[in-house]
Structure 1
Amino acid sequence: MPNYIRSKRYGGTFFFTVTLKDRQSTALLDHIELLRESVRFTLTQKPFQIIAWVVLPDHIHAIWKLPESDNDFSLRWQMIKSRFTRKLRETKKYNLSPWQNRFWEHEIQSEEDLEAHIHYVYFNPVKHGYVTSIQDWPYSSVHRDVKRGVYCYQDFL
């Protein structure tokens, strides 16, 4: 088994894939408000900037920029996942954590790398066949970015 070492870079920008154990599950969309609340709570405790985010039924893709004095993205994911799990248990629909134990992370190396990963995040619902256009997927920060004038939906065709 490979010995994977996570980046320790302070203030870095990172792409993540976080998945559920059951890849047929729709728990993330079924309980999207619990997930949003878990992210909001984590942001108040351990701030970070959300560059891009998309939630699919069984996984999340996200790009975060950490504060210059911080490199602990693992703690942030732990906080999001544990709060979501705790809130899910309160619904009496889940007894065990729905999450895979680990997540995949990639340190963004350049502006081109960042743009490629943003495109990947926002296009992912189309790639998986959930919609034919990114503007039709409601669980994406692309709508925030279009509202802010950062992107147009046509940028992702």
Structure 2
Amino acid sequence: MPNYRRAFVPGGCWFFTLNLLDRRQSLLIDHIDVLRSAVAATKRRFPFEIDAFVVMPDHLHAVWTLPPDDADFSMRWRLIKNRFARALPRTENLSPTRVV
């Protein structure tokens, strides 16, 4: 597992790029309403400002500013990704290594 070095700065402004595991998919735009709901639900529970957000078929870019007393962007992304994945229709063929 990679050992990332991250600066956790309360109230920081962050730039993110996230991409799908299978870059040939277009899940992000095919299910944009699910993505919007996942972001909104997470934002309601754990506030943050969205300074910019760009969604492409296979990846997205975002700029967030966190509250002055909070630096936990990774938890927010974990919740968004989890909510998005659980809300998708179960049509994807999973390899044996990805079956849970």
TM bin, normalised by shorter chain, reads: 0.7 to 0.9
Aligned-pair CA distance for 1:64: 0.1
Give the partner amino acid of 1:6: R
Q: TM-score, normalised by structure 2?
A: 0.88
2:76 aligns with 76
The whole-number CA distance in structure 2 between the counterparts of 1:95 and 1:70 is 38
Distance 1:30 1:17 in 2: 19
Q: CA deviation at 1:4?
A: 2.2
Cα RMSD for the two superposed structures:
1.6
Q: Which residue of 2 aligns with 1:56?
A: 56
**Aligned-partner residue type, residue 22 of structure 1:** D
Q: Give the helix-richer structure, 1 or 2.
A: 1
Q: Name the structure where strand makes up a greater proportion of residues.
A: 2
Give the aligned residue type for 1:68.
Answer: P
Secondary structure, aligned partner of 2:38: helix
- Are residue 13 (structure 1) and residue 13 (structure 2) matched? yes
User: 1:11-51, CA deviations, whole angstroms, 9 ceiling, x for partnerless residues?
Assistant: 00000001100111100001000000000000011110000
Match of 2:98 in 1: none
Query: What corresponds to 1:39 in structure 2?
Result: 39
Letter in 2 for 1:92: R
**Structure 2: gaps of 5 or more residues:** 95-100
Amino acid at match of 2:92: Y
C-alpha displacement of 1:70? 0.2
**In 2, distance between residues paired with 1:95 and 1:45?**
32
Report the alpha carbon displacement of residue 7 of structure 1 after superposing the two structures with TM. 1.4
Q: Which whole-Å CA distance do the structure 1 matches of 2:27 and 2:45 have between them? A: 24
- Greater than 4 Å deviation, 4+ residue runs: none
- Corresponding residue number in structure 1 for 2:91: 93
CA drift at 1:6: 1.1
In structure 2, what residue type is equivalent to 1:93? T
Separation in structure 1 between the aligned mates of residue 31 and residue 4 of structure 2, nearest angstrom = 31
Shift of 1:95: 6.4
Any idea what SS the aligned residue of 1:16 has? strand
Q: State the partner residue of 1:30.
A: 30
